[in-house]
Structure 1
């Protein structure tokens, strides 16, 4: 399985387009702790204030993605306006996940830098101004495809700051990470991970930490707990989940939860 598929299988991508059309003047967007915000600029110019310390000036067709959006403002010319598509993007059920945690606070890419994005935008605009049934569902699915194109771009361009996507951007580490993602229940030891990456144990351990910001053991434990969270949300019993993610008992998984999240699985489910 490829680099992104296992991640997207665990942290399902959901997008929701809430605005398409010509935007004039100032439009405000509040801080969002559960979803990222995506702004697709077909025709500008547009200024973005609040997404980072400096003002962002967008003059050509571009995609702006804010993985952890603070309160921000889009400003377009009062007369000419700007053609935009705005949406929310969520991975899994909450705001924290290894995909958005790996990205910088602002991702800005020229539309031309993403293969097929211009054709995709054309489809989105056709749907936006149609009265066909299923219009909103089609817009949302197209936005999800656009987000996958943007994630590919981030990996290929090395825009990931650390974490899972940074590891997946490294050809050697990606082999080990994909293996871990596909089989978290395996009794992984450092030599197995290093072998999957085609590296020596010592070099793998150093390179893994430098790239992802975690030791291989810490990463494995975090991935197991995140996988357990998804399974628990599906209603599976704790003892079965513990086995599925590589812990020998419910108590062992509970201890891992407390170490990583500061609470037990039962307490986490009640939040």
Structure 2
């Protein structure tokens, strides 16, 4: 399994389409994650603390972690849009969202690999076929993965797990963690997988990912544990699955990491 597939297998980005059509009035969007595909017309994006951005060409606008923003359009011309809310997966301590920029703007003219999916989104969004909502949501899910891949490939991620996965050596260790969260990993184990000395591995990991290898392992375990608990798995079973010998030890780490005990997960 490649390094990104191992991550996405456990923490899956999801999109939910809520608008497709011609927008002809000013709209403000709340602090959820959003992904907008602007296709035609004229649109002005406003954000607190940032310059206004006027769009006239097909463009993707991505707010990974959510930020209030507003679209202003000419009511006579409007703007053709397809919009979705975004959940990157994993909720608290999300490893995908941590390293992404606060805002990503991608003119399609400069990202030709995204155009085929965007064309399908527009065609589906402006039609009225059976299964339209499901088709739009799945297309947006795929587009999210393409965007993350593109952002990493262009060096726009400076820290976090995505920055670590961009380094071939760290990617080997991170993939091992993602695939085997229940193993009793040591710093030496992970350094050996990366083909590096312990000291150099620990330094590079902290620089790229933003935390120590063992701290990241713990955070990853808690991300997976929260997902399992939300599905109704018993605490004892979850504890064993993510590498803890006792439910008590797991509960202490979970509470310290996420700020609430496992039993409060819904």
* Same-fold status (TM-score > 0.5): yes
The within-5 A match list for 1:130-169 is: 130-169=127-166
> What is the CA distance between 1:135 and its match in structure 2?
0.9
Q: Which residue of 2 aligns with 1:247?
A: 244
Identify which of 172, 175, 197 aligns with 1:178.
175
Alignment partners' CA distance in 1, 2:56 and 2:46: 15
Q: Does residue 1:200 correspond to 2:197, yes or no?
A: yes
The within-5 A match list for 1:55-134 is: 55-92=52-89, 94=91, 96-134=93-131
Contact 2:36 2:61 in 1 (8 A): yes
CA gap of 1:210–1:89, structure 2 versus 1, over 3 A, is: same
The within-5 A match list for 1:223-234 is: 223-234=220-231
Alignment partners' CA distance in 1, 2:81 and 2:5: 29
Q: Which residue of 2 aligns with 1:42?
A: 39
CA gap of 1:51–1:2, structure 2 versus 1, over 3 A, is: farther
> What is the CA distance between 1:100 and its match in structure 2?
1.3
Alignment partners' CA distance in 2, 1:249 and 1:54: 52
Q: Which residue of 1 aligns with 2:184?
A: 187
> What is the CA distance between 1:44 and its match in structure 2?
4.3
Between 1:111-120 and 1:60-69, the stretch displaced more is 111-120
Which segments of 5 or more consecutive residues in structure 1 lack a partner in the other structure? none
- The DSSP-based 3-state class of the residue aligned with 1:225 is helix
Contact 2:90 2:224 in 1 (8 A): no
Q: Which residue of 2 aligns with 1:2?
A: 2
Which segments of 5 or more consecutive residues in structure 2 lack a partner in the other structure? none
Cα deviation digits, residues 247-271 of structure 1 (max 9, x gap): 111111111112211222113x15x
CA gap of 1:127–1:51, structure 2 versus 1, over 3 A, is: farther
> What is the CA distance between 1:152 and its match in structure 2?
0.5
> What is the CA distance between 1:77 and its match in structure 2?
2.9
Cα deviation digits, residues 194-223 of structure 1 (max 9, x gap): 111121111110011111110111101111
Q: Provide TM-score, normalisation by structure 2.
A: 0.93
Contact 2:225 2:239 in 1 (8 A): yes
> What is the CA distance between 1:52 and its match in structure 2?
4.9
- The DSSP-based 3-state class of the residue aligned with 1:235 is coil
> What is the CA distance between 1:93 and its match in structure 2?
6.0
Contact 2:114 2:143 in 1 (8 A): yes
Alignment partners' CA distance in 2, 1:77 and 1:96: 40
CA gap of 1:192–1:111, structure 2 versus 1, over 3 A, is: same
Cα deviation digits, residues 212-235 of structure 1 (max 9, x gap): 110111101111111111111222
Alignment partners' CA distance in 2, 1:103 and 1:251: 34
- The DSSP-based 3-state class of the residue aligned with 2:9 is helix
> What is the CA distance between 1:45 and its match in structure 2?
3.4
